[in-house]
Structure 1
Amino acid sequence: MDFSLTEEQEMLRDTVAKFLASRYNLADSRAAAKTGPGWQPEIWRGFAEELGILGATFPEKVGGLDGGPAELLVITEALGYALVIEPYVETVVLAGGLLQRAGGERADALSEAIVVGDAVVALAAEEPTSAGDWRDVRTTARRDGAEWVLDGTKIVVSAAPIANQLLITARTAGGERDTEGISLFLLDFDASAPPAGVTVHSYRTIDDRRAADLSFDGLRLPADALLGAAGAAWESLDRGIDEATAAVVSEGVGCLRRVLADTVEYAKQRKQFGVPIGSFQALQHRMVDMFMEVEQAVAAQYLALLSLDAEPARRARAVSAAKVTLARAARFVGQNAVQLHGAMGMTEELAVGHYFKRLTALEQEFGSADQHRARYVALAG
């Protein structure tokens, strides 16, 4: 497996990093998260118009650049390093992949809108009983004349409060955990004025993202709201979960690199007994252990992203192994970074505290370490 980047990919990495270093201010993003709209629309527009990264992994037919896993790795790691809260993974990676595989006029039109920065899309898949298993779909969709009628509940729908489009999983056939019978629907959406039949409970998560719980009670959708064939969405969803998981692993690596760099720099400056604390051998050993965890996460990141086009079982094993590795590194590096910073580590003024919260959330996003260990064992055995 080739881990080297091409000249074009290196240019993409440097361009994104330069943009974020000069335009993405941590204080501004936290203010937008805590007291503002939850994100920075002008930054999102810059991603589309100045960087072109919203279309980097979309095909050329919808205005994209036809990039692949390597481009996704470069972009998501840079976003993690800058602690970007804008919904790139939710809209571009997860929803974008589902739309490309669904095909059709509405899916292509929405893909084009994502590429130019006009659409923010959230996927409503998690349910109160699913515990991370997206096969457990109890939201139902039934035909009523020329319309579909949806009933059910979705929880922790990331980016829903700022989205203008929703993708919704609903069961049109089969039992509660059957892979057959799961369908995908598209809904024009505004959390501040939800359509009839939709109840929205929005909130801010521990890592300053926006999410919502949604209830559907007789939600009526037109016939063309169904994307792809009825009851045949699981294969695409299964791949989408793996793509999004690999993307957040890459984002986590970016967070880890920044946390380690900030901790090493702090250890060079903070003095105790008249000398920098970084001169103490015990703390040097601790930072070496942090470095080793980061490097293991980097290797797992490459394995996951560069296995996305492999056959499904191999892809799933690589992604689960990466998620377990990232979860372990996130906890070890995050906790030690906070400890080495002392009381400053959890203040709002210091970046490391915000990164620690994001790393804590990443441990659970798209499945916990325990869930991915169990999945890996099942796939291997």
Structure 2
Amino acid sequence: MDFDFSDEQMQLRDAVQRWAERSYGFERRRAIAAAGGFDTNVWRELTELGLTGLTIPTAHGGMGLGAVEAMVAHEALGASLLLEPLLPLHVAAAVLQHHADAAAQAAWLPRMAEGTLVVLAHVERHGHHRLDACTTTAVADGATWRLSGRKHVVPAGDHAAAWLVPARLDGALALFGVERGAPGTSVTGYPTQDGSRAAEVVLDNAPGQLVCRDGAAALAWAQDVGIALVAAQAVGVMDRTLALTLEYLNTRKQFGVPIGSFQALRHRAADMKMALELARGMSMYASLRLATPEAQRRQALARTKVQVGQSMRFVGQQAVQLHGGIGVTDEYLVSHCFKRLTQLELTFGDTLHHLGEVAARMTDEAGVAA
């Protein structure tokens, strides 16, 4: 199998990298984080680059690209520590493409390609990463539906035009679209620990549109797409983290020589590189496995989150330790890399949760013969 990128994929990667290097430097990112974690000018620039419509079909005004192209773009964006919620937008677009009817797709996908932000709002308190942990309810009200419940850590929820909300309908999970600002909705935004933005969303008999009745399948698909994109961004962050660490090891001197010449530190840097490459391979594996049947896909994406989560933790911790005190200061980029990796490790289920998912899907053939 050929794992080399095509010319078009390399051009996409280079275009995103050029934008990040030119327009999304560390100082601009720090200013955006200090201002609340979302910049409308950056969002407009991402839209002009076509990135909001990256995976949306051309029939709906998007670029119509696939999972590998999304991986390439998000890896480059990960290296820039992008704060704006492009990843949640792509997850919501994937859900609409695969689980919404033609009318809902025609209503939302063209607008999303043009930069309208729609995000998934599925996390509830005490859910512990379980997709079926949902107490939000939906009841019929004529031709529409009324939703009541509370959703937590909704990415950039106070900037979204609408949320995709799972709710209990006749005892089963269904997925609804709820517009921000509709009667019965309230939203409270706040910055997250990595500088990005999230919100608490409260629904009190709020009107919603039914997106699909099989909410469980839609959420499983959303989580798997999200894990693949998180893995890609994590690889980009770890690549940047390792580069900064190597630069520091070759610059910082003790006893008149760079500390990178010390064998013990060189070994630790080599271990960071190995962890990064393990994550890179799993990121590619995840993107390719999105096209497989659900059982295979679910197992593959859980495996990916376990390995990438372990790599994120190792690379982040080693980088901070090798830098010493400067590695945790706000003025230095490595501390922001570490915080970003920490938040990505918790996104769409942490490592321990997905280790349980992997174990639950092991077959007899995967064990050791008695």
Q: Give 1:226's aligned residue.
A: 210
Residues 44-83 of structure 1, C-alpha deviation per residue, up to 9 Å, x if partnerless? Answer: 222222x212222111110122211110110110110110
Q: Give 1:196's aligned residue.
A: 183
Q: Which portions of structure 1, spanning 4 or more consecutive aligned residues, are displaced by more than 4 angstroms?
A: none
- Asked if the contact 2:319–2:334 (Cα under 8 Å) also holds between the matched residues in 1, the reply is yes
Is 1:41 the equivalent of 2:40? yes
Q: Give 1:56's aligned residue.
A: 54
Counterpart of 2:146 (choices 149, 152, 156) is 149
CA distance in 1, matches of 2:282, 2:56: 24
Q: Give 2:198's aligned residue.
A: 211
Deviation at 1:111, TM superposition (A): 0.9
CA distance in 2, matches of 1:366, 1:128: 14
Q: Give 1:182's aligned residue.
A: 173
- Asked if the contact 1:104–1:227 (Cα under 8 Å) also holds between the matched residues in 2, the reply is no
Q: Which amino acid aligns with 2:198?
A: A
CA distance in 1, matches of 2:17, 2:182: 39
Q: Which amino acid aligns with 2:188?
A: H
Q: Give 1:178's aligned residue.
A: none
Q: Which amino acid aligns with 1:55?
A: G
Deviation at 1:30, TM superposition (A): 2.2
- Asked if the contact 1:17–1:78 (Cα under 8 Å) also holds between the matched residues in 2, the reply is yes
Q: Give 1:26's aligned residue.
A: 26
Q: Give 1:248's aligned residue.
A: 230
- Asked if the contact 2:175–2:218 (Cα under 8 Å) also holds between the matched residues in 1, the reply is no
Sort the Cα spacing of 1:137 and 1:2 in 2 relative to 1 into closer, same or farther, 3 A: farther
Counterpart of 2:257 (choices 255, 268, 275) is 275
CA distance in 1, matches of 2:93, 2:297: 19
Deviation at 1:95, TM superposition (A): 0.5
* Aligned residue pairs, count: 362
Q: What TM-score results when the alignment is normalised by the length of structure 1?
A: 0.92
Match of 1:366, SS state, is coil
Match of 1:327, SS state, is helix
Q: Give 1:362's aligned residue.
A: 344
Listed as ranges, the gaps of 5+ residues in structure 1 are 175-180
Match of 2:158, SS state, is helix
Deviation at 1:152, TM superposition (A): 1.2
Q: Give 1:320's aligned residue.
A: 302
Q: Which amino acid aligns with 2:335?
A: G
Deviation at 1:147, TM superposition (A): 3.0
- Asked if the contact 1:304–1:319 (Cα under 8 Å) also holds between the matched residues in 2, the reply is yes
CA distance in 2, matches of 1:112, 1:69: 19
Deviation at 1:212, TM superposition (A): 1.4
- Asked if the contact 2:328–2:334 (Cα under 8 Å) also holds between the matched residues in 1, the reply is yes
CA distance in 1, matches of 2:272, 2:82: 23
CA distance in 2, matches of 1:378, 1:294: 26
CA distance in 2, matches of 1:316, 1:360: 23
Listed as ranges, the gaps of 5+ residues in structure 2 are 364-370
Q: Which amino acid aligns with 2:240?
A: R
Q: Map of 1:112-127 to 2, 5 A cutoff?
A: 112-117=110-115, 119-127=116-124
Q: Give the share of equivalent positions with the same residue, in percent.
A: 40
Q: Give 2:279's aligned residue.
A: 297
- Asked if the contact 2:81–2:337 (Cα under 8 Å) also holds between the matched residues in 1, the reply is yes
Q: Which amino acid aligns with 2:139?
A: R
Moved more, 198-207 or 322-331: 198-207
Residues 277-322 of structure 1, C-alpha deviation per residue, up to 9 Å, x if partnerless? Answer: 1111111011001111101111111111111001111111211111
- Asked if the contact 1:107–1:227 (Cα under 8 Å) also holds between the matched residues in 2, the reply is no
Q: Give 2:95's aligned residue.
A: 98
- Asked if the contact 2:157–2:187 (Cα under 8 Å) also holds between the matched residues in 1, the reply is no
Q: Which amino acid aligns with 2:207?
A: R
